[in-house]
Structure formats: C-alpha cells, structure tokens
Amino acid sequence: MTAISVREYDRGRKAEMETIRRIVDAGRMSASAMNKQPWFFIVINEAGKLKEVADLTQTGKHIAGASFAVAVVTDPSNRYHEIDAARAVQNMVIEAWDLGLGNSWVGNMDREKIKQVLKVPPNLHLLTVLPFGYPTRKYKGRKSRKPFSETVFLGAYGSPFP
C-alpha cells in the first residue's frame, strides 16, 4: 500500500503503453456511486505537453519530468464526481505502485488553462493531474502520520481501539 508521494522520476525510463493502459484501466474499473463512472482520463505522454501542463501548475512543476501524466476529468452534474474520481485515482496510484511507478497528486493549478490545452469541454471539471514515473531512488520509509490512537476508535468517537 503506497503512502508516499514521488516527485522525482527517472527521465531515461519511459513507461510502455501497455503499462499506461493497465494503470488507467484500474481507474476505469473503479466502483462509483450507482456505477455512474463520472470520470474521463486523459493520458499525457508527449514531452512538450507535459511541460506545458507543468508550467500551468503551482505545485506540479515535476510533471515536466514525468514519464506520463493522467488528467482526471469529472462530470460535476454528478453529486459524487469528486469522491468517485478520488477512488479511481487511488486505484491508479496503487496499480502504478505495483508496476514500479511512483506518483503524486497535483492540486494547485490553473484549471481553465489546462482544460484548454487538453480540449476539455467547459462543462467538465479538472480534478487533478497525476504525474507518473519510475522513481530515481528507493522509498523505504513511510511519511509521518497521526498516531493510530488519535485516528481510529472503536464503537464511538473517542473510544480507544484496543
């Protein structure tokens, strides 16, 4: 189970199209409220376009160095579009990790400009752009998290889990 954001990618190693397909397919096959699947996935694997998108983000400059990125587009007419798409994202992240690729969730960006670059219809929402790539180093540790005892309860809020 990956709990790590990876922002440095091996620029010499590009993912095969079959690898990319497996990752986005894990997103496509995700469960969603009433099986509505309120999502689209746009794969970006061309260096110039990765750079163009990276430059339109505040926290995603590393997209430029990714092997590929997936723009996750949702349909806001569905009440659960963001929640459902987040579930699909996590499926893609875990599938990618299984295949040896790291990623990070990029949230701060000029959504309207990126939507223009990717020709996304105006009525759809750009949730995130997810860069993927082979890590340049081993990730052994886990990021710090709040203690189990402050996060998990048994039976009622505040009751300790034994």
Closest approach of Cβ 87 to its own copies, in Å? 5
The residue from 96, 101, 120, 129 that contacts its own copies (CB under 8 A) is: 120
Work out whether 139 is an interface residue with its own copies (CB under 8 A): no
d(CA 42, CA 68): 10
Dump the DSSP string for 59-128.
Answer: S-GGGGGSSEEEEEEE-TTSTTHHHHHHHHHHHHHHHHHHTT-EE--B--B-HHHHHHHTT--TTSEEEE
d(CA 9, CA 85): 24
Work out whether 29 is an interface residue with its own copies (CB under 8 A): yes
- Closest C-alpha among 140, 2, 6 to residue 67: 6
Work out whether 146 is an interface residue with its own copies (CB under 8 A): yes
Dihedral, CA of residue 152, residue 154, residue 158 and residue 162, to nearest 10: -80
Work out whether 107 is an interface residue with its own copies (CB under 8 A): yes
Work out whether 137 is an interface residue with its own copies (CB under 8 A): no
Candidates 7-15, 30-38, 132-140: pick the segment binding its own copies (CB under 8 A).
30-38
Which positions lie near its own copies, rule CB under 8 A? Answer: 1-5, 17, 21, 24-26, 28-31, 33, 35, 37, 39-46, 49, 73, 80, 82-84, 86-87, 89-91, 93-95, 105, 107, 117-121, 124, 127, 142-146, 148, 151-159, 161-162
